[in-house]
Structure 1
Amino acid sequence: MRRGVLTVGACILVLAVSFCCGCTEEPEEITGGELTGPVWLLETYVGVDGAMTAAIAEAPVTAEFVGGSVSGLSGCNRYHAAYLTDGQSLTLDLPVVTLMYCDRADVMNQEAQYLALLGTVAGYTISGDRLTFTDPSGQAILIFRMVDQNLAGTKWELTGYNNGAGGFVSVVTGSSVTAMFGEDGQMSGNAGCNSYSGSYVVSGKSISIGPLAMTEMYCMDPDGVMDQESAYFAAVQAAASYRVGAGELSLVSADGRQMAVFGPYTPNPQGVTWELSGYNNGQGGVVSPRAGTIVTAVFGADGQVTGSAGCNDYLAPYTVSGMEMTIGPVGSTRMYCDSPDGVMEQEARYLVLLGDAGMIDRTPDTLTVRDADGITLLTYTLERANPLAGDWLTVSYRDADGNLVSVLEGTELTAVFGTDWQVTGRAGCNSYFGSYTTDGQKFSVGPLGLSMMYCKSPEGVMEQESGYLTALEDAASYKIRENDLTLYDKESNPCVRYMPAP
């Protein structure tokens, strides 16, 4: 007995020495093993030609085994099927699949092949973080890898949340809510207006978040962002478990309710034109730009950000690394604009805020710039489409008596609605200029500036000019039908009608 023990010990010593001398130990391959628990992501599968084929990264296929059922994504649709296993063999029932159609033929072909292969599964092996399904001959037909459930060091963007009123809703358009799980056990991010931070603790699939502390800003735009923020804080702090899927993080309450779902965080600001939707006024609030001003930002691939600051154009170098951003020094042209009121003060504030940039958040439709402490400085949305942009010729207008009248013979009333939200034109005698805005079908213009000429002919030209400009400034909405643009006043009465200029 004593000698046998020594012999075994010697063998163990020899193995240890061999390992230390550079031999690599292969992951243990287990015929069968524990299927439940992980989320499995498809890596390769047997294609219709019989060769192993890499799965399409943009159309993830997953498998999760819970309570006698396997479910997941099949590339385009979701599926689930009952399964039986004795720890080595594996059989799956015919999958039940949703009936969506994706417009990529390769995705649909992959899905069809995957679902067909599930019906031929006879066994499985687990080796390290790999799961392999085999057919009756023992041939590998589907190979998955385990999705890492470690939250530490990950960054996410909210896609939906429990609103606290029995509903699960999407994020408010124009807002961005982020969550970062630090290596130090701290969760932080931005809830749409305010930055927040607090502790999180993970044990297995269980999670505890909070209490969370936040800044005390108030944001007026977009509508509903403050209510969303309150509901978000309540939702994440009610989470009791979590699950990391294929590019998705779900937080679930103790009673099984889904509290929040996040997608991958991608802060790259390039590729689009951004239009300012709010800026920090230095008094604890984020306010909308002044009516009649358009402030833009274009982040170029050359490391330069350019745009209009409301009156002047500006240019500055920028860098982005993860969530961190620096901008500046900022240079601009040296024009002075006296309208709309306050435009120069707003511009000066905007250029200072650009130089204070320290962090960014990005959604497909929004961009938020914050300082190094997480305070919101600037918010942007994608540049609005401008259906009015172009050259227009007046057909009729509402005169001082409230009647729609045609333009005097020998005169032209024109309007050029620019993509920069400035309108210029001829009013019959004088030139005019000003800013305009649209919001859906809503329209506003002015105040308008005017040159100071006096024209004697044709008769009535000055009265026409006054009537046209008054009608234009009274406009509150618009409609475009084919090639006809009509402006309406607050009572929905037509006040100016245009056709495209030749």
Structure 2
Amino acid sequence: MRRGTMTVGTVLILLGVVFCCGCTEEPMGGGDLTGTVWMLESYMNMDGSMTESLATAPVTAEFADGSVGGTSGCNTYTAAYVTDGQSLTVEMPVVTMMYCGESGVMDQESRYLSLLRTAAGYMVSGDQLTITDSSGQEILVYRAVNQNLGGTEWMLTGYNNGAGGFVSVLTGTAVTAAFSEDGQISGTAGCNSYSGAYVVTGSAISIGPLAMTEMYCMDPEGVMAQESAYLAAVQAAASFRVGPGDLTITDADGTRMAVYKRYTPAPQGEDWEVTGYNNGQGGVISPLVGTTITAVFGEDGQVTGSAGCNNYFASYSVSGMELTIGPVGSTRMSCETPEGVMEQESQYLALLGDVSTFERAPETLTLRDEDGSILVTYAIAQPKLTAGEWQMVSYRDAGGNTVSALAGTDVTAVFGEDGQVTGKSGCNSYFGSYTTDGPTISIGPLGMTMMYCETPVGVMDQESGYLAALEQAVSYRMSGNELTLHTEDDSTCVRFMQEV
């Protein structure tokens, strides 16, 4: 959900503490409002009819200790409330001040908060809460969020670091938790796999002791410290709360120890590029410089990619977090450079046959064997400078002005694997060499054909300005289908786009 912040983070943190109050209470019984996470199903529209709430903007309510709070679809809110029998009075809510641009979200939020203020009565029946106004007309209908952990899987978003702080998960790491129906918790702690028992009684939970594999990971920096802190945090668990798409674990004092989002693992949906593989000697190493190993898990149950020299293919099957691959086949080419590429390829393809489980994070994929050892790590494949033809959108002229490409002109660049750049400059074709080293780039000198074009007006000035801008580039950046070249002062000198 796109949000434009208009409030300070401190307010959100304080509200978050309010909402956790009562999370450790026993589940509701009879007509009790408390001890339950209620999610809005429908509300009275302006015309008096009941309207279903937006699935993409969940609205929740938790009643505890005279305070009701939750999310109103975009913002979080809290308000005092009083009950007397089946009557209910809710005071003016205190609401954060964020803006969400999705259609209907802010209108729904405004209507919901307005209706909450008109509450006069309530009724709890099974897992449904109905709130009525002073005339007895139902205005808000909620459904209790299922608090059963068995059979659920989660991905960590934040944890208590053991030093008084609640921190986010390191970029490039995946920390997961799967709760089985038979009382077992398992997952990856970022480097190692872990497992153990858990026991739930109402909203109380105990976890551990936990056992784990004994790998050591160097990247990213801090991953082992994160792992230790996370495992300590979950074993301090005393209570839990399941929200519409989140799980919060707290200790005996009500302090947040871990927060997760609901996780549906799947290797499909991305083009993956290998970032590390097991060398068979207990280490996970990076691929050889100059080689690219990829994997695409198709919806048809086939995984394909490049093993560094040859293309490969295999069938695969997924069951929960279990993954089997093979048998693996490949083309039969032999590559002499870089040195060791064929040994690397053989090792990688052999590892695929040993895969037993996987972990999927938003931008990473990790394959493990039956003992939990890491076999292969992937990241989402990034667009490459050499990936086809780039269309110039704008360039910086000699006066430092950004000039858009003239309508009706074709200005392109193709960065070849052989270190040659070629393209069209609007009238002539051009060519030259280029070199890269990480994000740095050097282009030129450039040569060109010697045609003269009269139309459109300004095409020859554009051509000379564009080619001069190319030769000024010292670095480049890529984001999606956009490529920008930059000068020494980090100003953009050329901007390209590529058709997706």
**TM-score with structure 2 setting the length:** 0.73
Which residue, 144, 147, 152 being the options, matches 2:145? 147
Residues 242, 32 of structure 1: CA spacing in aligned structure 2 closer, same or farther, 3 A cutoff?
A: closer
**How far is 1:313 from its partner?**
1.3
1:160 and 1:237 map into 2 onto residues whose CA distance is 15
**1:48 partner SS:** coil
| Aligned-partner residue type, residue 318 of structure 2 | V
Letter in 2 for 1:126: V
SS of corresponding position for 2:100: coil
C-alpha distance in structure 2 between counterparts of 1:76 and 1:104, whole Å: 10
In the alignment, which of 469, 475, 478 is matched to residue 475 of structure 2? 478
Identify which of 46, 55, 58 aligns with 1:57.
Answer: 55
SS at match of 2:351: helix
1:230-309 matches, cutoff 5 A? 230-309=228-307
Other-structure match for 1:213: 211
**Cα distance 1:181–1:433, how it changes in 2: closer, same or farther (>3 A)?**
farther
Residue 365 (structure 1) aligns with = 363
From 67, 84, 87, give the equivalent of 1:86. 84
- Other-structure match for 2:326: 328
Distance in 1 (CA, whole Å) between partners of 2:113 and 2:234 is 35
Distance 1:64 1:342, change over 3 A: same
The amino acid that maps onto 1:189 is G
Aligned AA for 1:102? Answer: C
Contact 1:370 1:378 in 2 (8 A): yes
* Structure 2 residue 163 is the aligned partner of structure 1 residue 157: no
Shift of 1:385: 3.3
Shift of 1:92: 0.4
Equivalents in 2 of 1:498, 1:90: separation in Å? 63
> 1:273 offset after TM fit, Å?
1.0
What SS class does the counterpart of residue 57 from structure 2 fall into? coil
Q: Conserved in 2, the CA contact under 8 Å of 1:218 and 1:284?
A: no
Residue 171 of structure 2: aligned partner: 173
Q: Is 1:31–1:124's contact at 8 Å kept on the other side of the alignment?
A: no
Q: CA 1:340–1:127 in structure 2 vs 1: closer, same or farther (change >3 Å)?
A: same
How far off its partner does 1:391 sit?
7.3
Structure-1 residue corresponding to 2:377: 379
Distance 2:483 2:353 in 1: 44
Shift, 1:268, TM fit? 1.9
- Output the CA distance in 1 between the equivalents of 2:289 and 2:165: 36
Q: Does 2:172 match 1:193?
A: no
Using the alignment, how far apart are the partners of 2:224 and 2:356 within structure 1? Answer: 23
CA distances 1:166-212 after superposition (whole Å, capped 9, x unpaired): 22111111111110112222211111111111111222222221111
Query: Which structure's CA Rg is the greater one?
Result: 1
- CA distance in 1: counterparts of 2:138 and 2:421, whole angstroms: 76
Equivalent position SS for 1:41: strand
**Corresponding residue for residue 72 of structure 1:** 70
Q: Which moved more, 1:39-48 or 1:126-135?
A: 39-48
Give the 3-state SS of the residue equivalent to 1:336 in structure 2. Answer: coil
CA distance change for structure 1 residues 165 and 388 in 2, over 3 Å: closer, same or farther? farther
SS state at 1:219 partner: coil
How far off is 1:425 after superposition? 3.6
Q: Which amino acid aligns with 1:213?
A: A
**Alpha carbons of 1:191 and 1:483: their partners in 2 closer, same or farther (altered >3 Å)?**
closer
Q: Residue type matched to 2:212 in 1?
A: M
Separation (CA, whole Å) in 1 of partners of 2:41 and 2:484: 56
- Cα 1:124–1:487 shift into 2, 3 Å: closer
How far apart, in 1, do the equivalents of 2:298 and 2:287 lie? 23
Q: 3-state DSSP class of the match of 2:111?
A: helix
| Equivalent residue letter for 2:475 | Y
Return closer, same or farther for 1:426/1:239 CA change in 2, 3 Å cut-off: closer
Change in Cα spacing, 1:82 to 1:269, as seen in structure 2 (3 Å) is same
AA in 1 matched with 2:322: E
Task: Label 1:483 to 1:354 Cα distance change in 2 as closer, same or farther (>3 A).
Answer: closer
Matching residue's letter, 1:369? L
Give the CA deviation at 1:276. 0.9
- Give the whole-Å Cα distance in 1 for the aligned partners of 2:227 and 2:306: 31
Counterpart of 2:337 in structure 1 is 339
Q: Distance in 1 between matches of 2:484 and 2:155?
A: 43
1:130 equivalent to 2:117? Answer no
In structure 1, the partner of 2:107 is: 109
RMSD: 3.3
Percent identity between the two aligned chains: 63
Distance change >3 Å, CA 487–CA 335, structure 1 → 2: farther
Please tell me the residue identity of whatever aligns with 2:189: A
Match among 12, 30, 33 for residue 31 of structure 2: 33
Q: Which residue of 1 aligns with 2:400?
A: none
What is the CA distance between 1:58 and its match in structure 2?
2.0
Q: Which amino acid in the other structure matches residue 89 of structure 2?
A: T
Provide the residue aligned with 1:459 in structure 2: none
8 Å contact from structure 1 (residues 221, 287) kept in 2 = no
How far residue 298 of structure 1 moved from its aligned partner, in angstroms, is 1.4
Q: Structure 1 residues 329, 443: CA separation in 2 closer, same or farther (over 3 Å shift)? A: farther
1:121 aligns with 2:115: no
Q: Which amino acid aligns with 2:45?
A: G
Corresponding position of 2:23 = none
* Structure 1 stretch displaced more, 43-52 or 209-218: 43-52
Q: Partners of 1:171 and 1:83 in 2: how far apart?
A: 36
Other structure's SS at 2:300 match: coil
| Structure-1 separation of matches of 2:305 and 2:213 | 30
Q: Distance in 1 between matches of 2:273 and 2:259?
A: 28
CA distance in 1, matches of 2:437, 2:143: 53
Alignment TM-score, normalising by the size of structure 1: 0.73
Question: Quick check: 2:87–2:122 contact (8 Å CA) kept in 1?
Answer: yes
Deviation (angstroms), 1:292: 2.1
Aligned to 1:314, the other structure's residue is in SS state strand
Q: 1:44 to 1:499 in 2, by over 3 A?
A: closer
Question: Which letter does structure 1 place at the counterpart of 2:243?
Answer: G
